[in-house]
Structure 1
Amino acid sequence: MADFFASKSFTALSDLHPSMANLKVIGIVIGKTDVKGFPDRKNIGSERYTFSFTIRDSPNHFVNVTSWGNEDYIKSLSGSFRVGECVMIENPLIQRKEMEREEKFIPTTPSNCKLLLSENHSTVKVCSVYEVDNKLLSLIHLPVKESRDYYSLGDIVANGHSLDGRIINVLAAVRSVGEPKYFTTSDRRKGQRCEVRLYDETEALFPLACWDNESILLAQSWTPGETVIFAADVRISFDKFRNCMTATVISKSIITTNPDTPEANILLNFVRGNKEANVFDDEIGSHLKESINLNTIVEVYTVEQLKAKALKNERKADPLYGILYAYISMLNIDNETTNVVRNRCSGCGYIVNAASNTCTTCHRDSLGYKSNFSSFDMLIDVTDHTGTLPSCSLSGNVAEETLGCTVNEFLAMTDGQKTALKWQLLLERSKIYLKGSSPAALSISAEAADMESSRASPVFQDLRLRIRHY
């Protein structure tokens, strides 16, 4: 690497000092923030724009780079390169960073300096991969934290509230990448959000939220079932609505895709083993995939209309999506004879045999054994003024959102607490998003549920309830 710098007249990031001038540096972009605008104190009524990125030129050295300027300059500069590309920077201003104040909001770096870009004096050029040393390109797969300095997803779930608000490192595999959702805030600023679902050997599903465009663009490049990430400095919090722990990418975060570390390689082997077992098969693994974007469901039905629609579509394989304004008329969560929680296979997601506690779908021999996890799996009735839909499936994370508790919290409840929870939901006006399959699919659904119900009515799955009091 030293010979490479010498031949190109680059200054190594490890040698940066505020007294230097007219220098040239090169590095691979390992992190980047969105462009933001702020009121210009010197010119009232106008805005200044800024964004930051982090470059690296060796395993032990990386620095933050910040640029300020007018909207056109900053947006043009930010749009000229992405994470994973190499850039050459000429004539940056070198400043000592203010450790305590600055690194609350930007990535922590080993350097005591930072680089500032000036529109009039500095230039940034994107380098072709053919111009760059392979040693520099390989740095994109090296985490910025020590490879063993991370929490497993199981550790995060087990520690629960004690990690709420903490900033930690996570090593995990990508299970699914959701579609970006766009919105406008109350002050008319546009925003976006994308949820990535992670997993590892200890936890089947764990949400990671991306709120900035740069992390969303990076997430869209990940391939579920093939990508492992090391997410440095993500914020862990407890989601009260979903009653689960979540991770969020923040301005300090740097995410390394497919890190080249022993720990990541072990996890990648686990991922590949699951893939060979058809974990991500369209039919078997469908319960693990990202749910449909609720904003795309706009058709409103009555129960009577839904029944007619489902019967009309009996010969069609496509599911029926819709919105129903109704109330829950049957919710047997306090009945000891009713199975509300079932064990599912962490490999394929099917319900395991209650007697043997093994999966007969993908675990055909003891060598293929994988652990099980507990999940809500219940049948409810929903009713409106036109009739009742019996045996609607309410399961998984959607059931947790509806009940307002996790499986473990539910199992720890007394019978009285379960009854009280039931009556909080029964007969309350609800907005229900649902997916329905035709009666022809009933036999498959019933078999997967150990033949719990064989009533010949449309099976409505993936219910997402929004309780509204009228």
Structure 2
Amino acid sequence: MANSFASKTFTALADLYPNMANLKIIGIVIGKTDVKGFPDRKNVGSERYTFSFTIRDSPAHFVNAASWGSEGYIRSLSDSFRIGECVIIENPLIQRKELEREEKFSPATPGNCKLLLSENHSTVKVCSSYEVDTKLLALIYLPIKESRDYYSLGDIVANGHSLDGKIINVLAAVRSVGEPKCFTTSDRRRGQRCEVKLYDETESSFTMICWDNESILVAQSWMPRETVIFASDVRISFDKFRNCMTATVISKTIITTNPDTPEANILLNFIRENKETNPLDGEIDSYLKDSINLNAIVDVYTVEQLKVKALKNEGKADPFYGILYAHISTLNIDGATTTVVRCRCSGCGYVMKEASGPCTACHRDSLELKSAFRSFHLLIDVTDHTGTLHACSLTGGVAEETLGCTVNEFLTMTDEQKTALKWQFLLERSKLYLKFFLSHRARGGLRVSVLSCKLADPTEASKNLSGQGNT
């Protein structure tokens, strides 16, 4: 007969029966770590391997389980089940938790016990369909934390550096899931990294990074703009490269996909209602929230090299960045102003057809109407000796810095003044910091956003164009 974590006697097992035999536990796996190897102190030159997981059998009770052993045993055991599956554990060793040490690196659990699985005595197997209790399956949709105990993405951004290094809970919708990227550490260990973009009613884009294979595997199942997640115990930090706050999945994190809570249901309704009217394209992402530290961008390309790199990145969701020394070959700023200046919502940044009235993307009520503001919206062509990049997006403050005037100042210019301004750039080589990401809606399948555009120093440009720069 299965023993339940909800049983009061379970807490006492660590004292009464530290080596209790014939114990059988059934629960659903709600969290899992990667397999890791450590030097074996008893056998110099060899390694012991371990992984851990969190199992739950009631809304209020869940426990961590760990196993140590040979590489073959540990990898086989880890591969035998996944997060969201019901498992049967037989003959585990029950131990007391070392709170300060263990809960620093493992999910915090309500009891004072943990399970240790022995290679020689313990077994774990996935439940067959007739062994699964439907009440267990429902537990995968319940966060391990109070459903109201979370930060909105807007709160995280607003608090900024005060949350740097803090571990908090986040409720958000999935905007996009990047392709896993492989890397090798200095000690030749292989790993993966996956970037997930989140959003909610308060923020249009927020980055969460997954480093372990288990969370990456779960993330790959998420449907952009359809999935809501409750991430318990993620680490918040300030990303110097992006110049913004980000979240990181750590060993303490438990992620609940599409949680069955009132707060999650409200957010789910929000993303469904705004799915069609709020396109969430890369242009707005770049315009509003994707502030990049330009000093971190060092790779210099030619147009031809950029097009080759874009082909290699085909099928990948993550953007890449680069520097280009080129002439602006198309800059239509002396035509109709409607193609140069647009009205945007001050709340979310989306283009509004009319300067007055509610923003159709925000769906704010009449008491929370956000004002509209005018903003540059330019599509420029840039050309070097190897080719041309068409329809590069030059918007917002970057456009004002490039042109050297505000929108209001531009609107007061005569056509002659606008033409003179245009030729200041068409005749000179510029240094452009660019962001590239694939988009089936963009010309040539590549969307390009200008992060900075200034007239290039001739010596610097000559040095880089002769192949002496960072290529």
TM-score (norm 1): 0.70
What's the counterpart of residue 215 of structure 2?
Answer: 215
What's the counterpart of residue 158 of structure 1?
Answer: 158
What's the counterpart of residue 344 of structure 2?
Answer: 343
Report how far residue 366 of structure 1 moved.
8.7
Contact persistence 1:302–1:324 (CA under 8 A): no
Once the two structures are superposed, what CA deviation does each residue of 1:307-358 show, in whole Å capped at 9, x if it has no partner?
xxxxxxxxxxxxxx9998732657x9xxxx99899735988x7522473375
Is the aligned partner of 1:176 residue 2:162? no
Q: Give the Cα–Cα distance (whole angstroms) in 2 for the partners of residues 436 and 54 of structure 1.
A: 39
Structure 2: give runs of 5+ residues left out of the alignment: 291-300, 308-318, 332-336, 403-428, 454-463
Q: Give the Cα–Cα distance (whole angstroms) in 2 for the partners of residues 364 and 261 of structure 1.
A: 22
Report how far residue 46 of structure 1 moved.
0.7
Q: Give the Cα–Cα distance (whole angstroms) in 2 for the partners of residues 376 and 394 of structure 1.
A: 8
Contact persistence 1:232–1:253 (CA under 8 A): yes
Q: Give the Cα–Cα distance (whole angstroms) in 1 for the partners of residues 435 and 37 of structure 2.
A: 39
Q: Mean Cα displacement is larger for which, 73-82 or 128-137?
A: 128-137
Report how far residue 135 of structure 1 moved.
1.2
Which residue identity is paired with 1:178? G
Cα 1:60/1:377, change in 2 over 3 Å: farther
Aligned length: 389
Q: Give the Cα–Cα distance (whole angstroms) in 2 for the partners of residues 264 and 115 of structure 1.
A: 32
Is the aligned partner of 1:10 residue 2:10? no
Cα 1:379/1:327, change in 2 over 3 Å: farther
Contact persistence 1:393–1:459 (CA under 8 A): no
Report how far residue 378 of structure 1 moved.
5.5
Which residue identity is paired with 2:324? A
Report how far residue 50 of structure 1 moved.
0.3
Cα 1:460/1:215, change in 2 over 3 Å: closer
Is the aligned partner of 1:83 residue 2:87? no
Report how far residue 178 of structure 1 moved.
1.3
Report how far residue 259 of structure 1 moved.
0.9
- Of the three residues 319, 324, 327, the one matched with 1:326 is 324
What's the counterpart of residue 191 of structure 2?
Answer: 191
Report how far residue 244 of structure 1 moved.
1.2
Report how far residue 394 of structure 1 moved.
4.2
Which residue identity is paired with 2:45? G
What's the counterpart of residue 255 of structure 1?
Answer: 255
Q: Give the Cα–Cα distance (whole angstroms) in 2 for the partners of residues 373 and 255 of structure 1.
A: 37
Report how far residue 429 of structure 1 moved.
8.2
Is the aligned partner of 1:44 residue 2:30? no
What's the counterpart of residue 127 of structure 2?
Answer: 127
Contact persistence 2:28–2:87 (CA under 8 A): yes
What's the counterpart of residue 271 of structure 1?
Answer: 271
Q: Secondary structure at the match of 1:269?
A: helix
Q: Give the Cα–Cα distance (whole angstroms) in 1 for the partners of residues 305 and 77 of structure 2.
A: 57
Q: Give the Cα–Cα distance (whole angstroms) in 2 for the partners of residues 55 and 136 of structure 1.
A: 10
Report how far residue 125 of structure 1 moved.
1.2
Q: Secondary structure at the match of 2:351?
A: coil
Contact persistence 1:392–1:460 (CA under 8 A): no
Once the two structures are superposed, what CA deviation does each residue of 1:220-252 show, in whole Å capped at 9, x if it has no partner?
111112211100000011111111111110000
Q: Give the Cα–Cα distance (whole angstroms) in 1 for the partners of residues 260 and 69 of structure 2.
A: 37
Cα 1:43/1:224, change in 2 over 3 Å: same
Q: Give the Cα–Cα distance (whole angstroms) in 2 for the partners of residues 98 and 260 of structure 1.
A: 32
Q: Secondary structure at the match of 2:30?
A: strand
Equivalences for residues 13-412 of structure 1 within 5 A = 14=7, 15-16=10-11, 17-18=13-14, 19-20=16-17, 21-22=20-21, 23-275=23-275, 277=276, 279=278, 285=281, 287=283, 302=303, 326-327=324-325, 343=344, 350-353=350-353, 355-356=355-356, 382=382, 384-385=384-385, 392-394=392-394
What's the counterpart of residue 449 of structure 1?
Answer: none
Q: Give the Cα–Cα distance (whole angstroms) in 1 for the partners of residues 371 and 88 of structure 2.
A: 50
Q: Give the Cα–Cα distance (whole angstroms) in 2 for the partners of residues 103 and 343 of structure 1.
A: 46
Contact persistence 2:160–2:245 (CA under 8 A): yes
Q: Secondary structure at the match of 2:131?
A: coil
Q: Give the Cα–Cα distance (whole angstroms) in 2 for the partners of residues 271 and 117 of structure 1.
A: 42
Contact persistence 1:174–1:226 (CA under 8 A): yes
Is the aligned partner of 1:461 residue 2:459? no
Report how far residue 437 of structure 1 moved.
9.7
Structure 1: give runs of 5+ residues left out of the alignment: 1-7, 292-299, 307-320, 404-425, 443-457
What's the counterpart of residue 414 of structure 1?
Answer: none
Which residue identity is paired with 1:234? V
Once the two structures are superposed, what CA deviation does each residue of 1:204-233 show, in whole Å capped at 9, x if it has no partner?
111111111000111111111221110000
Equivalences for residues 431-446 of structure 1 within 5 A = 433=436
Contact persistence 2:434–2:448 (CA under 8 A): no
Q: Give the Cα–Cα distance (whole angstroms) in 1 for the partners of residues 159 and 395 of structure 2.
A: 24
Report how far residue 363 of structure 1 moved.
9.2
Which residue identity is paired with 1:98? E
Q: Give the Cα–Cα distance (whole angstroms) in 2 for the partners of residues 129 and 371 of structure 1.
A: 52
Q: Give the Cα–Cα distance (whole angstroms) in 2 for the partners of residues 323 and 160 of structure 1.
A: 25
Q: Mean Cα displacement is larger for which, 387-396 or 15-24?
A: 387-396
Report how far residue 365 of structure 1 moved.
12
Report how far residue 364 of structure 1 moved.
11
Cα 1:131/1:393, change in 2 over 3 Å: same
Contact persistence 2:51–2:66 (CA under 8 A): yes
Cα 1:355/1:270, change in 2 over 3 Å: closer
Q: Give the Cα–Cα distance (whole angstroms) in 2 for the partners of residues 430 and 231 of structure 1.
A: 34
Cα 1:49/1:304, change in 2 over 3 Å: closer
Q: Give the Cα–Cα distance (whole angstroms) in 1 for the partners of residues 203 and 231 of structure 2.
A: 16
Q: Give the Cα–Cα distance (whole angstroms) in 2 for the partners of residues 248 and 345 of structure 1.
A: 29
Q: Give the Cα–Cα distance (whole angstroms) in 2 for the partners of residues 92 and 305 of structure 1.
A: 56
Q: Give the Cα–Cα distance (whole angstroms) in 2 for the partners of residues 431 and 91 of structure 1.
A: 58
Contact persistence 2:29–2:56 (CA under 8 A): yes
- The share of aligned pairs that are identical, in percent, is 64
Q: Give the Cα–Cα distance (whole angstroms) in 2 for the partners of residues 259 and 378 of structure 1.
A: 41
Cα 1:12/1:206, change in 2 over 3 Å: same
Report how far residue 185 of structure 1 moved.
2.1
Once the two structures are superposed, what CA deviation does each residue of 1:260-297 show, in whole Å capped at 9, x if it has no partner?
1111111111122123x3545xxx85657999xxxxxx
Cα 1:460/1:93, change in 2 over 3 Å: closer
TM-score (norm 2): 0.70
